[in-house]
Chains A and B, each alone.
Chain A
Amino acid sequence: MSRQAITLSRLNRAIAGYLSQPSLTDVWVVAELMDVRENRGHCYMELVEKHPDTGAVTARMRAAIWASNYGRISASFRAATGQSLTSGLKVLLCGTVNYHPAYGLSLVISDIDPSYTMGEAERKRREILERLQREGILDDNRSLPWPETALRVAIISAPGAAGYGDFINQLYHNPSRLRFTVRLFPALMQGERTPASVMSALRAIADESDLWDCVVIIRGGGASSELQAFDDYALACDVAQFPLPVIVGIGHERDVTVLDYVANMRVKTPTAAAEWLISYGEKALERLQLIGSEILRVATERISGSRMQLAQLQSTLAIAPAAALERSGARLRQASASLAGIGARRISPEFMRLDQTLRAIATAGRTALERSAYRLKASQQLLDALSPDATLRRGFSLTMCEGRILRRASDLAEGATVTTRLAEGTFKSTVIKN
């Protein structure tokens, strides 16, 4: 039984023929870059699509940018995004499906739209921040209080990096001669393994966190490429929850990563990180200076205050007795004055009552007198009617001898002189007895 067989190359050429069609030519595709590498001016990579939740690879294809396009594409990509084409980036690319009989299936890339990657990076950053916010840890490290002094600094950096050298140089040549203690916890600061590497350095520091006041993550010099390694959820999570304040100095102004948001302090350069730590230490020195001069001032003040108090006591003692007497006298005067006041207040009503009584008595007296005078007048009239004068006026006369009124003729002796009183006038006569 013979079978019709073709060669493999023929089969592959047939496949290539099938795939060579307009719907697979210059197609815009969204994919993530992996294993990006250059070789003789060409750029080779894997394109992958990952499950949004699990991160498992759900699609994969080899891809290449030929040297004829690579210079242009990578230059415009760098100009727009500030970074080179590296693994982990999500890109929008234009490619044509190509099937090479010897090398198999691949996508030949003719263009990349950098605006997609920029938006994508921003979106990813925002997603991580929102997630950290939801989990309530976004501000954890940022709200950590700084210790009184921050002189023991754990550094996470790539050993030998220019930034690390700048940092150490700045730190140890501070004019205040602050006594910094540092140790480098080496980590990869670029490439896909950056997050894992930095996280393991963080763990090493956390294991001896009582030895350190703060952590500085610095990435020195070099291009600002590959910052997207720091836009990593797990790393951001670790930094946000780190028990010591973290200073991040990994990029320049325009390159803000998620780490810059979650770290306690964000600076532009490693040198700036050192400057910040120096100024913080100098503040502690200033505080000491302030307390010292305040204590000196208070002590001096106290002593001179006590001296003044003594002098005052001395001068007070000299005049104290006289002053005390004067004060007692014044108190007495005041007391008597107020007593008089009280007396007057109590007595004057009594006086008024007395006045009233007096007036009543006077009125009563006057009335009684008037009544008496009237009665007297009536009596006078009666008396007048009964008086001898009235009898005399009626024609009677009164004869007296030796001052006595005569009532009997026998009482008269011969020749006695008697005086007779009439109503008007008197006359004398001599008695002749018959």
Chain B
Amino acid sequence: MEKPQFRPVGELTYNQAVNELDGILRTMQSDSCDIDLLAAYTRRATELLTECRSRLTATDKELQAILAGLQQ
């Protein structure tokens, strides 16, 4: 069974990451999805979700830094 090759999430744009998530979901929903790859796909999806979410949201520290920067 061939293992799918994934690009590092840092190299992806947000759109590419979301598209890949959609693709993974479709693959997992299709009958051709091998159970052996399920773990690999789920792991990849988690990685992508974490990356996407971190691009959308900021930590408290970052927010404070931004607000401080704007008030200058």
Contact = CB atoms under 8 A, between A and B. Distances in A.
Contacts, number: 73
Given A148-B15, A291-B21, A302-B35, A285 B28 contact: no
Interface stretch (A6-14, A176-184, A343-351, A385-393): A176-184
B58 A177 contact: yes
Contact of A177 (B29, B55, B63): B63
B70 to A, nearest CB: 6
Given A298-B25, A298-B28, A288 B38 contact: no
Nearest to A309: B35
> Which of under 10, 10 to 19, 20 to 34, or 35 or more describes the interface residues of B?
20 to 34
Contacts of A287: 18
Contacts of A177: 57-60, 63
A306 B36 CA distance: 11
A358 to B, nearest CB: 68
A299 B45 CA distance: 11
Given A168-B70, A288-B53, A299 B42 contact: yes
A61 interface: no
Contacts of B57: 176-179, 285
B23 to A, nearest CB: 11
B24 interface: yes
B52 interface: yes
Contacts of B59: 177
Interface string B21-47: 110110011000101001001100110
Contact of B52 (A168, A178, A288): A288
A151 B56 contact: yes
Interface in A271-305: 281, 284-285, 287-288, 291-292, 294-296, 298-299, 302-303
A178 B41 CA distance: 27
Contacts of A261: none
A4 B19 CA distance: 95
Nearest to B13: A148
A172 B58 CA distance: 10
Interface string B58-72: 111011001100100
Given A179-B58, A285-B57, A291 B25 contact: yes
A295 B66 contact: no
Q: Binding site of B, secondary structure by majority: helix, strand, loop or mixed?
A: helix
B49 interface: yes
Q: Give the residue among A148, A151, A176, A285 with the most B Cβ atoms within 10 A.
A: A148
Nearest to B18: A148
Q: Give the residue among A149, A180, A296, A298 with the most B Cβ atoms within 10 A.
A: A298
Nearest to B57: A177
Nearest to A295: B45
A284 B56 contact: yes
Contact of A291 (B22, B55, B63): B22
A168 B68 CA distance: 12
Contacts of A299: 28, 38, 41-42
Contacts of B58: 177-179
A298 B41 CA distance: 11
Contact of A302 (B24, B33, B46): B33
A303 B66 CA distance: 45
28 contacts: A148-B15, A148-B18, A149-B55, A149-B56, A151-B56, A172-B70, A176-B57, A177-B58, A178-B57, A179-B55, A179-B62, A182-B70, A281-B56, A285-B53, A285-B56, A288-B21, A288-B52, A288-B53, A291-B45, A292-B45, A292-B46, A295-B24, A295-B42, A298-B25, A298-B28, A299-B42, A302-B35, A303-B35
